[in-house]
Amino acid sequence: MARKKAEESKKMPAGDPGVQGLRAEVVEQPITETLESNYMPYAMSVIVSRAIPEIDGFKPSHRKLLYMMYKMGLLTGARTKSANIVGSTMKLNPHGDAAIYDTMVRLSRGYEALLTPFVDSKGNFGKHYSRDMAWAAPRYTEAKLSTICAELFRDIDKDTVDMVDNYDGSMLEPTLLPTTFPNVLVSANMGIAVGMASQICGFNLSEVCETTINYLNDPNHDLLSTMPAPDFPTGGEIVYNADEMREIYRTGRGSFRVRSRWRYLPKENMIEVYEIPYSTTVEQIMDKVAELLKAGKVREISDMRDETDLSGLKLTIDLKRGTDPDKLMAKLGRLTPLTDPFSCNFNILIGGNPKVMGVQEILDEWIAWRTECVKRRVYFDLQKKRDKLHLLKGLGKILLDIDKAIKIIRETEKEANVIPNLMIGFGIDELQAEFVAEIKLRNINREYILKRVEETDALEKEIADLQDTLNSRRRIKNIIIAELKDVMKKYDQPRCTGIVYTDEVEAMTEEETVEDYPVTVFLSREGYFKKITPLSLRMGGEQKFKENDALAWSSETTNRAELLVFTDRQQCYKARLADFEDTKASALGTYLPTKLGFDDGETVVDVILPGDYTQHILLVYENGKVGRVPLECYATKTNRKRLTAACSDKSALVCVLPLTEETECAIFTSEGRAVVFSTALLQPKTTRSTQGVGVARMKPKYRVTGAKLLRDTDIKNPARYRVRSIPALGAVLKEEDLGHEQLSLLEE
């Protein structure tokens, strides 16, 4: 009955009231099956057919566009409207005219994204270094192929690469272009696929060709000696580190910095930036500088404007009087994209599979692929000459007895029988007989016969030479080298991007680029932090805190100082005071646990100003032990904010005391005792998590409640509490030695 109702419900129209009340059948499918059947084919399509370049240096969209322009005769002909090119390319690329035109723009000379542009453009094609400079519509621009494209399509009609049907089977297109030079290294390429990406920087064409030639001659050739670094059409300077670059060449991964080129005009007191890193735009730089000016982090600039015109890129920075241009540009290089990193990820499709390779491995793959292209071309020529020789040999047999051939043709009644009769009469095949039958009557003379005999001898020599080439790896290699030398000779161009070595760069430290001025810092018991300038402090009045909160610590310092924050989880957080905004006494301040990213429930125990990290600190624990640790143990070369295992986990940390010189320290216990000892009794430990040395000896139910340097306490008679050796029990505090703060510690 249920089955019958289900069948009836399928026959009922959707709006039939009889269908209402019946629930649709839900088919369960494992998520793994859904991913395998639906998502994975899509992901592989994006990886293989869209985003990742192949060994010829092109993505499918690039290849389809260039091949269609080649078929349109735009390699040698005049320019045509871009709209015509886009429309024709849709025969190969079904992704829409907008995507095709975007591809064409990137390959164009006017856009300036490639060192060797493949599209000779006319009109407004925008600029790679500008985010907002839009290119004109395709109906307004014109284009043709650049002359270097002759190297992309050389001998493409000689079966050098595989040809496949386009998406509707109406024409053939190449799977790869037979480039005569390693375009995969010359043309910059970026692609984002599903689960992977590719970022290939461009190299100078002449350097790539020279390196490939040297590598073909010597597999142990040092690639860096002839191809020291990438090259970008936007210029700039690579901050060169040989070890980093060698690692990029080896693995295909890594990054390097590119900085802008600029000049200072003293008469106008301005800086002109005329080359910027390839990975940024003028708008990004302008936006970042404006943000810094608004935040008050850069005070040396009075104005900045974009003066880019037909002569090229130019960003002009007007300076305030007395500004050092070198220091300002070093500061802007650290804070803005005027110095920008370029990340390398040489991910290339090899045989349909993505693979991250170093430069040497890419050259190996290209040489192997190019060798196959040359072999296929030689084999194509060989077969053509063999076919021609075969026809000439048939002709030779007939020319030995022309009268017999004429007699056979004259005595043949039907035209269809001419070819079979010639085949029988001279023992030749159909192709040879067809060739002979098509000879003109005027060619049956002695001169023609002698020329054909000589041509036969020359063909036999050429065939032998081609066969030898096909069997010789050395001769194939020499062909590749000759073509590379020809490319170098025709299309040589100087480097656009300069190289400046790291030891030549005056690296301005971060402290030098941060404005320095006196400040006073405050920390409340609940973890609220303030940084106040002297002027604001004088005019601000009383400090404001939350209800039940109060001041825990304060100190005078400078804006360039660092802060070490110790917590109850044996962790230490580093912070730069410059990262905190200047505030007023009437403000609550910045909540440190949120600012520094504390773990849930983690609280501040103490803070110190480490200065230059040359002094020591005392870590005072509840169990009466004190650890003396050099501050250099907390110094880091990187900008790490969190240091784990910053102190011992055997007992709770009570406080941290900075120690600039040998002095005396007082420890207070919950029993009401005090121990005054010399810090010289404590030997420095080399590890942050040291358990320390016993100083205050206590009964099990008591603990250390606080510690201070003796000079900061209210103790009137320190001799009563001073000890010569540790650990010590100390003495009970007398009433006259109990200061306000010590009373509060004891009450806790």
CATH number for 522:
2.120.10.90
Q: Is the pLDDT of residue 4 over 60?
A: no
Looking at the domain assignment, is residue 209 inside a domain? no
Please tell me whether residues 486 and 438 are part of one structural domain: yes
Beta bridge partners of 618: 628, 657
Please report whether residue 203 resides in a domain: no
| 584: three-class secondary structure by DSSP | coil
Tell me the pLDDT band of 379, cut-offs 50, 70 and 90. very high
Same domain, 383 and 520: no
Averaged confidence pLDDT in the chain: 88
Arithmetic mean of pLDDT, 107-132 = 94
**Among 353-367, 437-451, 679-693, 713-727, the range of highest mean pLDDT:** 353-367
pLDDT digits (tens, 9 = 90+) for 657-700: 999 899 999 999 998 899 999 999 999 888 888 889 999 998 88
Residue 508 pLDDT > 70, yes or no? no
Cis peptide before 727 (omega within 30 of 0): yes
What is the β-pairing status of strands 528-532 and 315-319? unpaired
Model confidence at 372: pLDDT above 90: yes
Residues 31 and 57 in one domain: no
Q: Residue 63's closest CA among 137, 118, 133?
A: 118
Range with top average pLDDT, 12-26, 269-283, 417-431: 269-283
- Structural contact between residues 104 and 88, judged by C-beta atoms closer than 8 angstroms: no
Q: CA 733, CA 671: separation in Å to the nearest integer?
A: 10
Catalytic residue, candidates 140, 167, 501, 517: 140
635 lies in the same domain as 726 = yes
* CA diameter of the chain: 147
The tens digit of pLDDT for each residue in 518-557 reads: 899 999 989 999 999 888 888 877 888 888 888 888 999 9
Please count the residues of the chain: 748
More confident residue, 675 or 20: 675
Residue 478 has pLDDT above 90, yes or no: yes
Q: Identify the domain boundary among 429, 460, 491.
A: 491
Q: Within 13 Å of residue 449, how many CA atoms lie on the same side as its CB?
A: 11
* Enclosing H/E stretch for 557: strand 551-558
Judge whether 47 and 194 are in contact, CB under 8 Å.
Answer: yes
User: Domain ends where: 337, 353, 377?
Assistant: 337
Q: What is the reported pLDDT for 8?
A: 47
Rounded Cα–Cα distance for residues 99 and 109 (Å): 18
Q: What is the pLDDT of residue 497?
A: 95
Question: What was the pLDDT predicted at 83?
Answer: 96
Residue 288 · residue 334 · CB < 8 Å: no
Domain shared by 599 and 727, yes or no:
yes
Task: Evaluate if residue 18 carries a pLDDT over 60.
Answer: no
Q: Is the pLDDT assigned to residue 466 strictly greater than 70?
A: yes
Q: In the structure encoding, which two tokens stand for residue 712, read together? A: 């900061």
DSSP class of residue 338? T
pLDDT in the model for residue 17 = 47
Q: Is residue 145 within 8 Å of residue 120, measured between CB atoms?
A: yes
Give the model's pLDDT for residue 197.
87
Q: Respond yes or no: is residue 249 known to be catalytic.
A: no
Instruction: State the Cα–Cα distance between residues 256 and 618, nearest whole angstrom.
Output: 42
Whether the per-residue pLDDT at 15 is higher than 50: the answer is no
User: How many separate domains does the chain show?
Assistant: 5
Confidence of residue 740 (pLDDT cuts 50, 70, 90): low
- Residue 475: per-residue pLDDT: 95
320 lies in the same domain as 386? no
Residue 31 has pLDDT above 90, yes or no: no
CATH for 265: 3.30.1360.40
Judge whether 366 and 357 are in contact, CB under 8 Å. no
For residues 53 and 470, give the distance between their C-alpha atoms in angstroms, rounded to a whole number. 29
Domain end residue (candidates: 118, 144, 179):
179
Query: 526 or 35, which is more confident?
Result: 526
pLDDT at position 417: 86
> pLDDT digits over 84-106, tens only?
999 999 999 888 899 999 999 99
pLDDT value at residue 156: 94
Q: What is the mean pLDDT of residues 32-61?
A: 83
More confident residue, 580 or 141: 141
Mean of pLDDT values over 449-455: 77
> Mean pLDDT, to the nearest integer, of 200-223?
95
Q: Does 509 have pLDDT greater than 60?
A: no
Residue 281: pLDDT band (50, 70, 90) is very high
Rg (CA), the chain: 41
Whether residues 475 and 434 share a domain: the answer is yes
pLDDT, mean of residues 15-26: 54
Q: Tell me whether residue 271 is in a domain.
A: yes
Q: pTM for this structure?
A: 0.69
Check residue 14 and give its pLDDT: 46
- Residue 19 confidence (pLDDT): 45
Residues 689 and 740 occupy one common structural domain: yes
List of E strands, 434-539: 498-501, 518-524, 528-532
Higher pLDDT, 724 or 36: 724
Greater confidence (72 vs 452) lies with: 72
**How confident is the model at residue 444, as a pLDDT?**
73
Which domain covers residue 446, as residue numbers?
368-491
pLDDT of residue 419: 87
Residue bearing the bigger pLDDT, 198 or 401: 198
Is the pLDDT reported for residue 507 higher than 60? no
Question: Are 279 and 412 contained in the same domain?
Answer: no
Is residue 309 a contact partner of residue 165, using CB atoms and an 8 Å limit?
A: no
In degrees, to the nearest 5, what angle opens at C-alpha 248 toward C-alphas 243 and 253?
135
Residue 407 included in any domain = yes
What integer pLDDT is reported at residue 452 of this predicted model? 76
Q: Are residues 29 and 91 in the same domain?
A: no
Give the mean model confidence (pLDDT) for residues 120-124.
95
In terms of domains, do 525 and 654 share one?
yes
Q: How far is CA 11 from CA 4, 14, 18, 259, in A?
A: 11, 9, 11, 71
Does 223 reside within a domain?
Answer: no
For the residues 633-645, what does the mean pLDDT come to? 80
pLDDT at 216 over 50: yes
- Cα–Cα distance between 425 and 398 in angstroms, integer? 9
Lowest mean pLDDT among 43-57, 182-196, 666-680: 43-57
Reply yes or no on whether the pLDDT at 6 is more than 60.
Answer: no
Tally DSSP H helices, then E strands, for the chain. 22, 33
Asked if residue 505 is part of any domain, the answer here is no
Q: Are residues 134 and 86 in the same domain?
A: yes
Q: Which residue blocks in 39-96 are alpha helix, DSSP H?
A: 40-46, 60-71, 82-89
Domain presence at residue 733: yes
Question: Does 439 map to a domain?
Answer: yes
Residue 5 has pLDDT above 70, yes or no: no
pLDDT in tens, 282-323: 999 999 999 988 877 888 899 999 999 888 899 999 999 888
For 196, the token pair is 């992977």
pLDDT score, position 23: 57
Q: Is the pLDDT of residue 36 over 90?
A: no
Q: Supply the CATH number for residue 481's domain.
A: 1.10.268.10
